[in-house]
Amino acid sequence: MRVTILRRTLVVAALAVLIAYPIVSNDLYYQNLLILTFMLAIGASGWNIMGGYAGYISLGNSVFIGLGAYTTGILAAKHGVSPFLGCLVGGLVCAIAAALLSLVTRRTRGMYFVIVTFAVLQLLALVTTTWSSLTGGSPGLALPLPTWSLDYQNWPFYYPLLGLLVLTVAVSALVRRSKLGLGLFAIQDDEDKATGLGLRTAVYKMIAFVLGGTFIGIAGGIYAYYVTFLNTGAVFDIVASVLMVLAALLGGRGTVWGPVVGAFILEPLANFTSTGIGGANSGAIRLLIFGGLLLAVVLFLPRGVLPTATSLWQRAMARRSRPSPDEGAGPAQRSSASISVSPRGSDVDGGGRVLEVHDVVKTFGGLHAVDGVDLAVERGSITGLIGPNGSGKTTLFNLIDGTVAARSGHIALGGKRIDRSGRATRAHAGLARTYQLPRLFPSLTVIENIVLPERRLSFTRLWRKRVTSPERQRAIAVLESLGLANFADTSPADLSYGQRKLVELAQALWLDPALIMLDEPAAGISPALSQRLADLIRSLHSQGVGILLVEHDLAFLSSLCQHVYVMANGKIIANGSVAEVSADRAVVDAYLGDDVALAPAEVHA
């Protein structure tokens, strides 16, 4: 709390100083410096929405400065449109460009995304130079000179940019606090899994990119008027792109204020190195300074100035006020695990099959991982899937939920074919799963993890709070029934392996699935948690959720399943009740082995 108050006070004070500065001082050097700093802060904040929140590092963001500047410049020079209107058109052009760019890069990640954005920057710079009838080509494009009285100095640039910066930061803060931001952070942690939870990640990324691009574009338009002369080299500038990234990294990427702080450190430094260092080697010296700074940030301040300072401050405060000894201990909880779920499609027809898999094939090179599998799960039943390691169980799950594409075969959920649908669509249709090794999102809290899944895309929902109060209430109830209420606002890293598995299950159930696939849920967890898990599975069963359960623990399985399939070498070799398959000769040979074949008493336990 203390940090929040301190931060608010600092922000208000800084804003007051910035508003007052041009009025009380006539120093044009510092006005110019501040204008450039605002530009960089807008650029870094805009970049941060995509680069900091979603983890997509763009090296091409000065494309938006260029597009905004040239749109404004062309409108002003050729059509007499005021640059202060033109820059808004520039913002619109950038919004469209960002949407297109986001479509083009829809399937690129990591290094590839970096390279593509860099290539687009080079490409647009080239187009601008070549298309000289429109842009003035390499000689450049001159805008009309400002017409206001010299008494106003640079105020008409200074205040709009300051306002735009405030707006950019406000939107960035709004995004961070909303479900959109929650989704973006989830994308940064584990995009595949986020898609499996029903998030249309391409839409999230497009909105992030468009928001960032638009603000940078508008700023680019104002900048065009400020410099009054455009040439491609100066506006489609890789150094400007790099500075945006560097400012965000320096200040603290993924935070709201980090990029602004970074810009206020970096731009004065950049300005000093370009004016303070003269001579033939000045370019090389600047490069050395920025390169060294980048290295220093990565080595010594990997999280950035702001997060580091915040945690130092918090630690200092914590030392002063000792925490009460019983903090976080909480009362021991005992409850029967149950989560209320309204499985989708259960009202349509009472019976039938919730999942049908027919003749599905998946090969990895020459390996037939899944080789002509037929399998069905009755609505509201618990169906088991067993088999030795490497027999293709997880791959079958991946085929059903769309993580990997089948080479041939049909998959239907609730009677509708899903094998051509994307992962999010399958989740929306009522399919959920857990993973053999739990995959929670580390930068989200436990409760945020639970409420992240999305049953359908809604643009208004994206702007709601990360966790709305009804959601919080429901999620707390879920956590209570799992005995994990104390962990609601902690990081999933604080949970044990077994607890993480339970939370992942609760997360999947947030989708209200008609079918949930559990990949070895009881493996590696304590007997107490395993009991809780069995309770939970029974309660889901009684609510009509279909369950496909992969498990090696036959006693656990036989206490739950009516029907099991046995898989070996990618094929189903037997199916029936647990007692039936464990008496099957082929199953004993391929999986159980004579000495571990179950005693009948255990089977019926």
- Contact residues for ligand ADP, defined by CB under 6 A: 364, 367, 369, 387, 389-395
Minimum CB distance to ligand ADP smaller for 162 or for 564:
564
Q: Cα separation of 305 and 252, whole Å?
A: 6
Q: How far is the CB of 389 from ligand ADP (least distance, A)?
A: 4
Contact range with Mg ion by CB under 5 A, out of 74-82, 156-164, 354-362, 389-397: 389-397
Q: Which is nearer to ligand ADP, 263 or 568 (CB)?
A: 568
| Selection from 241, 231, 247 nearest residue 69 by Cα | 231
Contact 266, 296 (CB under 8 A): no
Binding partner selected for residue 499 from Mg ion, ligand ADP, none, CB under the kind-specific 5 to 8 Å limit: none
Q: Of 394, 398, 445, 481, which one interacts with Mg ion (CB under 5 A)? A: 394
288 binds, among Mg ion, ligand ADP, none (CB under 5 to 8 A by kind): none
CB atoms within 10 A of CB 428: 18
- In 10 A of CB 177, how many CB atoms? 15
Which lies closer to Mg ion via its Cβ, residue 436 or residue 539?
436
**Residues 220/64, Cβ–Cβ less than 8 Å:** yes
Nearest-approach distance from CB 569 to ligand ADP, in angstroms: 9
Taking CB within 5 to 8 Å according to partner kind, which of Mg ion, ligand ADP, none is near residue 143?
none
Gyration radius of the chain over CA positions: 29
CB under 8 Å, gap of 24 or more: what pairs does 530-535 form?
530/498, 530/556, 532/337, 532/482, 532/483, 532/502, 533/337, 533/501, 533/502, 533/505, 534/559, 534/560, 535/336, 535/337, 535/338
Min CB(166)–ligand ADP separation in Å:
48
Residue with smaller CB distance to Mg ion, 436 or 531: 436
Asked if residues 46 and 64 have their Cβ atoms less than 8 Å apart, the reply is yes
Residue number with the smallest Cβ distance to Mg ion: 394
Give the interface segment with Mg ion, choosing from 109-117, 300-308, 339-347, 393-401 (CB under 5 A). 393-401
575-589 burial code (b ≥16 CB/10 A, e <16): beebeebbbbeebbe
Collapsing DSSP to helix, strand or coil, 547 comes out as strand
Of 450 and 590, which CB lies nearer to Mg ion in the complex structure?
Answer: 590
The binder of 229, among ligand ADP, Mg ion, none, by C-beta within 5 to 8 A per type, is none
Q: Contact 224/68 with Cβ under 8 angstroms?
A: yes
Distance of closest approach, residue 417 Cβ to ligand ADP, in angstroms:
23
- Rounded to a whole number of angstroms, the minimum distance from the CB of residue 571 to Mg ion is 16
CB closer to ligand ADP out of 162 and 550: 550
Distance of alpha carbon 507 from alpha carbon 286, whole angstroms: 50
In whole angstroms, what is the distance from residue 16 CA to residue 18 CA?
A: 5
| Min CB(205)–ligand ADP separation in Å | 24
Look at residue 133 and give the partner it binds from ligand ADP, Mg ion, none, a contact being a CB closer than 5 to 8 Å depending on partner kind.
Answer: none
Q: Least CB distance from residue 363 to ligand ADP, whole Å?
A: 9
Q: Give the footprint of Mg ion on residues 74-103 (CB under 5 A).
A: none
- CB closer to ligand ADP out of 297 and 581: 581
Taking the complex as a whole, the smallest distance from the CB of residue 164 to ligand ADP amounts, in Å, to 47
Region of 174-182, 371-379, 387-395, 565-573 interacting with Mg ion (CB under 5 A):
387-395
Partner touching 343 among ligand ADP, Mg ion, none, CB below 5 to 8 Å by kind? none
Minimum separation from the CB atom of position 394 to ligand ADP (A): 3
Size of the site for Mg ion (CB under 5 A): 3
364 contact, one of ligand ADP, Mg ion, none, CB 5-8 Å limit per kind: ligand ADP
CA separation for the pair 168, 222 (Å, rounded): 15
Report the residue number, 169 or 525, with the smaller CB distance to Mg ion: 525
Please say whether the beta carbons of 353 and 376 come within 8 A: yes
What does the DSSP assignment read for 201-223? Answer: HHHHHHHHHHHHHHHHHHHHHHH
Neighbours of 531 (CB within 10 A): 15
Least distance CB 403 / Mg ion (angstroms): 12
Nearest to 507, CA basis, from 524, 526, 521: 521
For residue 391, the partner it binds in Mg ion, ligand ADP, none, with Cβ less than 5 to 8 A by kind, is ligand ADP
H or E, element range at 550: strand 546-550
Q: How far is the CB of 3 from Mg ion (least distance, A)?
A: 44
Binding to Mg ion (CB under 5 A) within 426-445 occurs at 436
Query: Which residues are bridge partners to 360 per DSSP?
Result: 373
Q: Which is nearer to Mg ion, 396 or 485 (CB)?
A: 396
From ligand ADP, Mg ion, none, interface partner of 390 (C-beta below 5 to 8 A by class): ligand ADP
Lookup: tokens for 424: 């999010």
Least Cβ distance, residue 519 to Mg ion (angstroms): 6
What sign does the dihedral 280-282-284-288 (CA atoms) show? Answer: positive
Decide if 442 contacts 189 (C-beta within 8 A).
yes
Q: How far is the CB of 517 from ligand ADP (least distance, A)?
A: 12
- Cβ contacts of 585-594, under 8 Å, gap ≥ 24: 590/387, 590/388, 590/566, 591/386, 591/387, 591/388, 591/391, 591/566
| Binding at 369: pick from Mg ion, ligand ADP, none (beta carbon under 5-8 Å per type) | ligand ADP
Residue 531: contacted member of ligand ADP, Mg ion, none (CB under 5 to 8 Å, by partner type): none
Whole-angstrom CA distances from 325 to 314, 315, 330 are 18, 17, 11
Single-letter amino acid, residue 272 = F
Question: Which lies closer to Mg ion via its Cβ, residue 344 or residue 393?
Answer: 393
- Cβ proximity to ligand ADP, 248 vs 548, nearer residue: 548
Cβ-based nearer residue to Mg ion, 393 or 433: 393
Phi, psi of 395 (to 5 degrees): -60, -40
Q: Which is nearer to ligand ADP, 272 or 364 (CB)?
A: 364
Q: What are the residues binding Mg ion (CB under 5 A)?
A: 393-394, 436
